Structure 1
Amino acid sequence: MAQVMPNSVLSFQCWLSKAAEWGQTTTLESQQDVCAHLPQLLTFLLQISESLKHMSLNSALARFPAIDQLLKQLCWNPFVVGHEGLQKALMSCLCCLYSSDPRGPLELKTNDWIQNLLCSLFSGSQYEFHKEWKAITHLGWTTAGYHGKLLKNTIASLISQLKGCQSVSGCSKPRLSAEDIRSISVKCIPIHTLPDVVPLLEALLIYHCPEPIEVLDELFLHTINNSIMWKKIVLSESAVLSLWLRHLPSLENAVLDLFQRLIAIQSKSSGEMERVIKDSFLPQAACHPSIFVIIDGIFRNALLETDGTIKVITIIRLFTRRFIQMYEKDNLQARFPLRTFFPHNSLNLVMALLRQFQGLTPRVCFQHLHSIVQKVKDVDSGIRSHENLFNSWFLLIHFGDWVDVAAEQLLTSEHEISDDLLWLLAFYYNPCNDNQERIKTMIAAREVCTSLRKLSSNAVACPVTLQTIHEGKREQMWNFCTMQLIRHLCVTFLLYSSEWHTVAKDCISRMTQTQEAANEVSDVLARTLCRLNNTGMKNEKITKKALELLHDF
């Protein structure tokens, strides 16, 4: 911690004025102002404390002549001392000024007012503190036990009043007004991390007032949401859901925080990304359509702003998979129909993409993929517009596992190479509203599929041969989208052709000469591994090889 520099005198004077202005925080406006300044005040007091450690008493009083006034005002402010960090910072400042061996009237006088201020941290005056302590001791309590019990009783009383205002029988006159509830929420801000306060936080968040405006304080909602994200407190799922439903900024902050944490994870760590998504509670909350629409809207914007970056696409796919798991978790529970979650898409297409592919025979899986393609084409051939095209592509990204299954079918199926499956992959990687570009991509993909099928049945495994297919003919000049699709097919070939496993590492090395290519290949490996693990479609050879290749990156 850096020492307070000379130019911070102005800051000291400002805080002195602010402390005097707050007084005993008798008004709601004053209480809100204190809560809004708690983080900055804590930083300032820690700086003051660090400076005092390096000063004698005379130097400290000369440097900060009004230090006694500032500390006194703050020690008497219940909102300041209610904050655990600030209480410790205040005590640290006082201890720095305290003389263990006073040698003169100044040190004796200073020690005296320090003792009084330490007492005020508990009750308000030395006399009252000793009086209260004697009464508590007479009852057989310790001060800590007494105040703990008092806090629990106060919280229980407030919760009872909150529930009473919403009882089925109703109240002719509410026990707590909207202003009362707002005041309670403000008072919770400095002490919200105390375990005993959690039931009151949950009661406040679940409380619904007949008033048309929000009754809980804005800073309270922000503070609680931040503490939930930073794991400082743990609230019930119903309380968190209520928080996000009643306060849109908190939900948006939670989604953006999740997004940033997922982006920071390496592409090959799909399992870690899944754990982070699961731990966020957002997939469960997304089972409420209002929350799903907000989350999906943020995903949509991220997709547009990044031009469909692989990392963003992977996040959308993993989140959707977890959301569907939560949605289908309890078939007996009343649920919103799925059409409410995807209002911009054909319900037939949504239901087709929702079908699980595990357990399907190769023939049924092949037929279902054709039906998916036909439904996407129907949308595209209807009212042709960029919006409809984007909505279909965005939906396909949510359920992108079917695209990976299509790639596997193209390389492993006994059927002829399907134009429909080629179209699906070309649309996924090149959704632009230009049929000529898509046709070019399909032609390139067909050539690669044909060559890979021949390798699988006829040729001896050779990295150079696969590299030739991957790079294509010099005159072809594949575009970026086509190259993504070609890499996808080549990696899938290496995983599903066991005779090529011995040279897969060398093949992958030749395919990933750029960071961009490496990201794409590792993503295909990770999502294949993730899909096989999640659906129970265990294939030990493929799983083992995918793990080895990911480890080598």
Structure 2
Amino acid sequence: MAQDSVDFSSHYQFWMQKLSVWEHASTSETQQDTCLHLPRFQEFLRQMYEVLKELNSSTIIERFPTIGQLLAKTCWNPFILAFDESQKILIWCLCCLINKEPQNSEESKLNSWTRGLLSQILSAFRFDTKEVELFIQSLGYTPEDYCPGLLKNMVLSLASELRENHLNGFNTQRRMVPEKIRFLSRICIPLVTLPDIEPLVEALLTYHGHETQEVLWPEFFDAVNEAFLLKKISLPTSAVVCLWLRHLPSLEKATLHLFEKLISSERNFLRRIEYFLKDSLLPEAACHPAIFRIVDEMFRYVLLETDGAPEVLAAIQVFTQCFVEALEKKNKQLKFTLKTYFPYASPSLVMVLLQHPKEIPQELWLQTLKHISEMLREIVEDQTHRSYGGPFECWFLFIHFGVWADIAAEQLVMSETESSEALLWLLAFSYNPRDGSLQRAKIMVELKAALIHLKKLFRSPTLSAKDLQAVAAESPDRDPRPALCQQLSRRLLLNFLLWAPGGHAIAWEVITLVAPTDEITHEIIGFLDQTLYRWDHLCEEAPRSRKLARELLAELHASSTSPLNVGRGCRDQDP
């Protein structure tokens, strides 16, 4: 190291004079001289870096007062910058001049000046001199092709060195100094949206050294995350996962950005929710438990703040579906135990809920639903299972797999089963976990009465809208029913209309009677959209029911006022 310092000092003045000559002369002889001395000058740059990296910024200026001039002359010499290796070494030298904690205005000015030179190197080059044009043309390039190619080569060289640094681990002979990696991330901040810079950005994000603290600038993470969210940069999922794991504010901002999209989009469209979710990469990134837990907690917070808004429930359900799909693609055998994703839940319950209905024969759906209901009921109503978080935690887990609640409502109407008690409990719990066992029992009695009424009418050849309206309407002979009970009754009624042979012809008339407000209309739109979405994912064969659901959905969207116009509508007259 001492010998390097002596050699560097002895050569310093020689190269300072050479750079001055090259700067002020523009002849063919000067060009030839530059090319002749370039290999030696690159070696000088390497020696200079080895000396500078051992010194702090203040000491460098004291020992070499004119080093700024030397580096500036080098930065503006196109023949030197024509080689990406020269650019790379020059960047490291300039990084050594930056003071991490400037103590006065002079040091701040030096930092600003140095960053200007760094940006100039990393930006796309534009050389206008005739000499350089001739030089580029002699290589067989146009200026438009050569300059971006030069930047691309330099970026690939830096990215390759970062990857080698990561692979070398503790081999300090070939490791890149962490401070230089940190400075490089800072240089990239204004350049992250340049397509040619993407390999370097990716290499920085996926770099993992052995430092105890983060080496990259927080502003670098912010800039990359902002560019990614605004679609100004394209990154592989692995790099995005590294970004969110290394910088929690970026993950939080990405999740909030998703929420804003979901809120601003049209209500009750699960396909649109699915598109936004997959486009955000959050479900795929959530295969890492740390990311899943944070995103899931943010969903929990939004759910509580909106008091269980249907749109939020739908988003959680679709998010979980996309997450499970991504998990299955990534791991045929789970790398992480399910408890790392759902730490407050019963592992056996999670295993049952994770079963996709499509993977279970339809004739076994009732058996699975009964098993889910029994497990949940035991945890919720048995005081000995408080280790699993109580009713809310069980409910929050269950709504992630809300498709089972939708199937339960459908099966209650369609099937003659002795499991109706279990399915009714599951349905009542899925809509309100706050109710105690006594209140839930009262709701189940009401629902059972509505279900018995619908069962009697299911095979009836002649149905009237008034007969069915009684299922969802209030009766003057009894006390007003809770809003939840009315909502669940409507859910049973809507399933009846879709599946009962005689329900198709009067479906629109019934809906106009039971939907006197915009709120109920939106509820029915949500039900129909969710049902069609579920049928598509389960590949369920129900042509007549599917046709009716689509027509009803189109009519409800077309209706601009409420109560709905009875004169308009679809009346499916298929035999």
The superposition leaves residues 458-508 of structure 1 with CA deviations (integer Å, 9 ceiling, x where unpaired) of 362322222222113133312222222122111111112232112212222
Partner of residue 149, structure 1:
149
Partner of residue 346, structure 1:
346
Which secondary structure state, in structure 1, belongs to the residue aligned with residue 505 of structure 2? helix
> Which deviates more, 271-280 or 288-297?
271-280
> Cα distance 1:310–1:332, how it changes in 2: closer, same or farther (>3 A)?
closer
The superposition leaves residues 43-63 of structure 1 with CA deviations (integer Å, 9 ceiling, x where unpaired) of xxxxxxxxxxxxxxxxxxxxx
| Corresponding letter in the other structure for 2:467 | T
Partner of residue 438, structure 2:
436
Which secondary structure state, in structure 1, belongs to the residue aligned with residue 357 of structure 2? coil
Distance 1:457 1:497 in 2: 7
Distance 1:145 1:30 in 2: 37
> Cα distance 1:227–1:456, how it changes in 2: closer, same or farther (>3 A)?
same
Which secondary structure state, in structure 1, belongs to the residue aligned with residue 504 of structure 2? helix
| Corresponding letter in the other structure for 1:309 | A
**5+ long unaligned stretches in structure 1:** 1-22, 33-72, 88-120
Are residues 1:478 and 2:481 paired?
A: yes
The superposition leaves residues 420-452 of structure 1 with CA deviations (integer Å, 9 ceiling, x where unpaired) of 111111111121152222122111111111111
Are residues 1:216 and 2:216 paired?
A: yes
Distance 2:470 2:121 in 1: 70
> Which deviates more, 342-351 or 174-183?
174-183
Partner of residue 549, structure 2:
546
Aligned 8 A contact 2:461 2:502 in 1: no
> Cα distance 1:130–1:191, how it changes in 2: closer, same or farther (>3 A)?
farther
Partner of residue 424, structure 1:
426
Distance 2:293 2:205 in 1: 21
Residue in structure 2 matching 1:516, options 515, 519, 522: 519
> Which deviates more, 154-163 or 429-438?
429-438
> Cα distance 1:300–1:335, how it changes in 2: closer, same or farther (>3 A)?
same
> Which deviates more, 461-470 or 201-210?
461-470
Partner of residue 537, structure 1:
540
Distance 1:463 1:79 in 2: 76
Partner of residue 51, structure 1:
none
Are residues 1:269 and 2:272 paired?
A: no
Matches within 5 A, 1:346-365: 346-358=346-358, 360=360, 363-365=363-365
Which secondary structure state, in structure 1, belongs to the residue aligned with residue 211 of structure 2? coil
> Cα distance 1:360–1:141, how it changes in 2: closer, same or farther (>3 A)?
closer
Partner of residue 366, structure 1:
366
> Cα distance 1:484–1:31, how it changes in 2: closer, same or farther (>3 A)?
farther
> Cα distance 1:528–1:163, how it changes in 2: closer, same or farther (>3 A)?
same
Distance 1:384 1:160 in 2: 54
Identity among equivalent positions (%) equals 37
Distance 1:521 1:389 in 2: 27
Which secondary structure state, in structure 1, belongs to the residue aligned with residue 513 of structure 2? helix
When Rg is computed on C-alpha atoms for both structures, the one with the higher figure is: 2
Cα drift, residue 538 of structure 1:
2.6
Distance 1:353 1:384 in 2: 18
> Cα distance 1:245–1:449, how it changes in 2: closer, same or farther (>3 A)?
same
- How many residue pairs match? The answer is 451
Distance 2:120 2:511 in 1: 61
> Cα distance 1:81–1:451, how it changes in 2: closer, same or farther (>3 A)?
farther
Distance 2:309 2:369 in 1: 25
Distance 1:294 1:418 in 2: 37
Partner of residue 196, structure 1:
196
Which secondary structure state, in structure 2, belongs to the residue aligned with residue 209 of structure 1? coil
Aligned 8 A contact 1:205 1:242 in 2: yes
> Cα distance 1:291–1:468, how it changes in 2: closer, same or farther (>3 A)?
same
Cα drift, residue 364 of structure 1:
2.4
Partner of residue 505, structure 2:
502
Distance 1:444 1:259 in 2: 36
Cα drift, residue 331 of structure 1:
5.3
Matches within 5 A, 1:216-365: 216-329=216-329, 332=332, 335-358=335-358, 360=360, 363-365=363-365
Distance 2:100 2:144 in 1: 28
Residue in structure 1 matching 2:406, options 404, 407, 427: 404
**5+ long unaligned stretches in structure 2:** 1-71, 76-93, 103-111, 557-575
> Which deviates more, 254-263 or 377-386?
377-386
Partner of residue 382, structure 1:
383
> Cα distance 1:173–1:512, how it changes in 2: closer, same or farther (>3 A)?
farther
Distance 1:463 1:507 in 2: 5
Which secondary structure state, in structure 2, belongs to the residue aligned with residue 500 of structure 1? coil
> Cα distance 1:29–1:193, how it changes in 2: closer, same or farther (>3 A)?
farther
Cα drift, residue 305 of structure 1:
1.1
Cα drift, residue 357 of structure 1:
2.3
> Cα distance 1:543–1:30, how it changes in 2: closer, same or farther (>3 A)?
farther
> Which deviates more, 164-173 or 465-474?
164-173
Distance 1:399 1:137 in 2: 64
The superposition leaves residues 301-331 of structure 1 with CA deviations (integer Å, 9 ceiling, x where unpaired) of 1111111110000000011111111112255
Distance 1:308 1:383 in 2: 27
Aligned 8 A contact 2:168 2:175 in 1: no
Aligned 8 A contact 2:119 2:187 in 1: no
Distance 1:428 1:233 in 2: 41
The superposition leaves residues 166-187 of structure 1 with CA deviations (integer Å, 9 ceiling, x where unpaired) of 2257532354222211221122
The superposition leaves residues 16-43 of structure 1 with CA deviations (integer Å, 9 ceiling, x where unpaired) of xxxxxxx9998657999xxxxxxxxxxx
Cα drift, residue 197 of structure 1:
1.2
| Corresponding letter in the other structure for 1:289 | P
Which TM-score applies when normalising by structure 2?
Answer: 0.72
> Which deviates more, 182-191 or 280-289?
182-191
Distance 2:169 2:257 in 1: 41
Distance 1:169 1:417 in 2: 60
> Cα distance 1:183–1:457, how it changes in 2: closer, same or farther (>3 A)?
same
Distance 1:483 1:295 in 2: 33
